[in-house]
Structure 1
């Protein structure tokens, strides 16, 4: 099993933001810290904003900040949001009708259960549990 880079980078950004939850972060700042594309991080930030995890503001005093306390943000919910539209296997996709054993497959239900268990297990932890140490200005 492998999470998409979209989710990986989204979790990294949130880990940084959880280190100082009252502070606004720019995508440029986060892109520089993690050596990632600013354009890619902007798309991730948009998804996080649409999902109610962060709020964003444009302008000089703008940036993104967490919408809730990091202790209230469950990791499984974040992964589910960021992995939205990414099927674990081909037959889970809405257009996944290429399986020749559809109708008698006993693996599909087990994979659905495993996927749900994965999210459930992640939801035992919050963003506060994985926050990075706060950065000290040099």
Structure 2
């Protein structure tokens, strides 16, 4: 099982925004710098997170990004489902393009489906708030990275 960079960066963006002091806004350049990722790629992810109403973007000179929902309202399983394009971990998961000779008799598909269900059961048990229980450590890491880059 592997998640795309889109989901990885979406989670990292939400973690970053959830650790901002009350009232502070972040910007794409800042987040991209902290994580050493492409600003262009991050812009697409931020746009998607905005459309999904996880974050809000404030325009203007003093604008930026902030969470639109409280961390305890952001379920990790739901976020992963919304940011991944598909969950076809093997060819036979996709009915239209499946050309596997073994499909009529193979039991592996069922095993992978069971594993996927277990994967989401675990993710569904967590919110963003659960991931930032040690918020001060996150803040220190982010601050240290920004100082290093300055």
For normalisation by structure 2, the TM-score amounts to 0.78
Deviation at 1:22, TM superposition (A): 4.7
Larger RCO: 1 or 2 (CA < 8 Å, sep 6+): 1
Q: 1:61 to 1:89 in 2, by over 3 A?
A: farther
1:134 matches 2:150: no
Question: Does the 8 Å contact 1:76/1:119 carry over to 2?
Answer: yes
Q: How many residues in Structure 1 have an aligned counterpart in Structure 2?
A: 138
Q: Whose helix proportion is higher, 1 or 2? A: 2
CA radius of gyration, larger in: 2
- 1:1-138 matched pairs, under 5 angstroms: 1-20=1-20, 22-93=23-94, 95-131=96-132, 132=135, 133-135=138-140
Runs of 4+ in 1 over 3 A off after TM superposition: 135-138
Question: Does the 8 Å contact 1:71/1:129 carry over to 2?
Answer: yes
Task: Give SS of 1:134's match.
Answer: helix
For normalisation by structure 1, the TM-score amounts to 0.84
Which segment drifts farther, 127-136 or 112-121? 127-136
Kindly report the root-mean-square deviation, in angstroms, between the aligned alpha carbons of the 2 structures.
2.2
Q: Which runs of 5+ in 1 are unaligned?
A: none
Measure, in 1, the Cα distance between the counterparts of 2:100 and 2:31.
Answer: 41
